[in-house]
Amino acid sequence: MSDPGWVKFTTSGSTAIWSCGGAWTIEHATRLDGDLTIPAEAISKTAILDLSAIDQLDTSGAWLISRHGKTLHGKGFAVETREGDPDLAALLKRVVETEDVLPVQPPQRNLSDKIAEVGAAAEGILTESRDLVAFFGALVMALSRLALTPWKLRWNAIFSHLEQTGLNALPIVGMINLLVGVVLAFQGADQLARFGAQTFTINMLGISVLREMAVLLTAIVVAGRSGSAFTAQIGTMQVNEEVDALRTIGLNPMDVLVVPRVLALMIALPLLTFFADMMGLLGGGLMCIALLDISFGQYLSLLNQAITVDHFWVGLVKAPFFAALIALIGCFEGLRVSGSAESVGRLTTRSVVEGIFMVIIVDALFSILFSYLGI
Amino acid sequence: MAVKSDLVISLKGIVNRFGQQVLHDGLDLDVKRGEVIGIVGGSGTGKSVLMRTIIGLNRQAAGTITVLGQRMDQLSDADRTRIEARWGVLFQNGALFSSLTVAENVQAPMREHTDLQPRLMDELAALKIRLSGLPADAGAKYPSQLSGGMKKRAGLARALALDPDILFLDEPTAGLDPIGAAEFDQLIRNLQRSLGLTVVMITHDLDSLVAICDRIGILIDRRIRVGTLADHLKDEHPWIKEYFHGPRARAAGIGV
């Protein structure tokens, strides 16, 4: 193993000499970088770089020597380089002759750039909204075209997505709604007991589960599970140029990729919501039986008095709208993927966030609508 | 550490199998310091698997691998990391980290293995980028903004980041146009000479084989036959004959 690199500065008559030796490699580069200075004694304008004692050189070392030589040259020195080994000289020559070595400067951002970024972001939101509306229009066109020729629908794809987004989501949707039913009943009974109104726990439970909780929680789970999957699947296809391949063989990505997913989710989400209703009422019921000291039969009859079938429909009717939104956003973001795998990840996150956000906005609009209608 | 042995890589009795399929069975290979060795073979003969085995991404079923005088299976994790810092790998499509710029890609191994100052690291990254034949402004670009050939050059710059002793190249000229491929061959040859590299290169490109390889290893019958081009031209094995005397070989000016 060779010695660590070193550099010594001496003067001989009017000549400044830098003698270098040892291993000029990347491990020693930081130290050597600091040691290669131009001392005040170097007043004369002739310099010698004596490299004969260097026994190991890599590009980092060669870079330091080359840079030092160029700095001296720039200060008006006449520089002479004395290499020992011919291999070493060849490497040094190669590095010295490499031109245009410009380290990347991080771009400077001033206030006007930041303001411009805000503007660009706002414009981005507007164009994206416009594109989403246009995409919705294209989807409606495709759906109405396929409604006239239903045998052209891709039934295999629809059933496969039904299985993935519906059947496979049953455990998680059931579990979450059961637990939320338990929590609602427990909290409700606890608070209402202060007014001696425990029996109203069942009214509160039935109405909140059927009207809001079941459908909203299910839509959020599905947005996280299936909306993200849609974006990732279509996005990966986009990266592999599979979507372009579809177009070149005369298949419309809208018909092949988007319509089956949208239809499957519009079927799956109402079914999942019904399942969620049942699980929510079951979980809440178990808690009511335990806390209110009633039998299962009494629970069912109290529930029957507390709610009407309208409450059930109010919840369920929202499911297909939420499903269409989630699937639309998932597919739209998937088709916006371009280039790298990184954009798949970014747009998948975006699709989930936008999906959940839109579901909640539309849920609020439905609440306003129902209160006008007096349901 | 710097053992000046003539054998940089030495494989003894390597066996690789996937399920029932045996890819390598008792394969021996010696790579000498400072040579460029090309590895060829039909599809499915395990060229990439061989390379992945040497660099430790695939564990062999039997056999020993000695790199720079160290038995790879007997090393501690720290020693292994030290050996890994002495080779650079160019994957087939560059395998650049897509969330980093080209300059940051080149700096990634430096950040991990050295304690360089940011300024010096920037300069060295710019130097490697230029040495790999990319324009200076490529450093600020992201991999998705580069063409296929530029990605390979950027991958090469990253492979050279720590001044490795050994450079592994997986199909470096695949997907490049003939002019770009010839330039890339020249670039590798130049860098190999001036940096004193040992190069192990998987290739299908007959022109590259002729232009830059000192020796050629042919994966055949689960072993490797190593020799110079002249040795292989005399070989009577039907696949080797076909390979070096086929129409494409004639077009590359060999086997005439």
Question: For the segment A15-53, what is each residue's pLDDT rounded down to a tens digit?
Answer: 888 888 888 888 888 888 888 888 777 677 788 888 888
**What DSSP state is assigned to residue A226?**
I
DSSP-derived pairing of the beta strands B7-18 and B21-32:
antiparallel
Q: Per residue in B178-192, pLDDT tens? A: 888 888 888 888 888
* Residue A116, domain member (yes or no): no
* Residue A102, domain member (yes or no): no
* Same domain, residue pair A156 and A52: no
* Same domain, residue pair A81 and A148: no
* Residue A189, domain member (yes or no): yes
* Same domain, residue pair A215 and A346: yes
Contact B13, B63 (CB under 8 A): yes
Last residue within a domain, chosen from A34, A64, A97? A97
Residues of B near A (Cβ–Cβ under 8 Å) read 1-2, 98-99, 101, 103, 110, 114-117, 119-120, 122-128, 130-131, 135-137, 139-140, 142-144, 160, 162-163, 190, 193-196
Please return the burial class of A331, using the count of CB atoms within 10 Å of its CB with bins 0-12, 13-18 and 19+: buried
A99 touches chain B (CB under 8 A): yes
Q: Per residue in B20-52, pLDDT tens? A: 888 888 888 899 888 999 998 888 888 888 898
CB within 8 Å: B103 and A102: no
Q: How far apart are CA B220 and CA B217, in angstroms?
A: 9
Contact A265, A222 (CB under 8 A): yes
ipTM over cut 0.85: no
Tell me how many helices (H) and strands (E) chain A has: 15, 4
* Same domain, residue pair A203 and A291: yes
Between A249 and B2, name the one with better pLDDT.
Answer: A249
* Same domain, residue pair A338 and A284: yes
Q: How far apart are CA A291 and CA A15, in angstroms?
A: 98
DSSP-derived pairing of the beta strands B166-170 and B21-32:
unpaired
* Same domain, residue pair A217 and A332: yes
- Cα B126 to Cα A89, A105, B89, B217, distances in angstroms: 21, 11, 19, 35
* Residue A105, domain member (yes or no): no
What are the per-10-residue average pLDDT scores of chain A (375 residues)?
A: 80 83 85 83 78 84 87 84 80 80 75 91 93 94 91 91 95 96 93 88 93 95 95 93 89 92 96 97 94 91 92 95 96 89 89 95 95 87
* Residue A74, domain member (yes or no): yes
What is the distance in angstroms between the Cα of A332 and the nearest Cα belonging to chain B?
21
CB within 8 Å: B127 and A30: no
The structural domain count of chain A equals 2
Question: With pLDDT > 90 as the criterion, what percentage of chain B qualifies?
Answer: 9
C-alpha B102, offset from chain centre: 20
Find the angle CA(A158)-CA(A161)-CA(A164) to the nearest 5 degrees. 155
* Same domain, residue pair A290 and A176: yes
Which residues 6+ apart lie within 8 Å of A160 measured at CB? A264
Q: How far apart are CA A284 and CA A119, in angstroms?
A: 49
pTM: 0.71
Residue A183 structural domain: 122-373
* Residue A107, domain member (yes or no): no
- Cα B37 to Cα A165, A280, B63, B225, distances in angstroms: 52, 68, 21, 12
* Same domain, residue pair A304 and A157: yes
* Same domain, residue pair A51 and A12: yes
* Same domain, residue pair A64 and A142: no
CATH number for position A41: 3.30.750.24
CB within 8 Å: B126 and A104: yes
Which residues 6+ apart lie within 8 Å of B248 measured at CB? B206
* Residue A139, domain member (yes or no): yes
* Same domain, residue pair A93 and A127: no
Residue B3: band (very low, low, confident or very high) from pLDDT cuts 50, 70, 90: very low
* Residue A106, domain member (yes or no): no
Quote the pLDDT of residue A270.
97
What is the distance in angstroms between the Cα of A1 and the nearest Cα belonging to chain B?
6
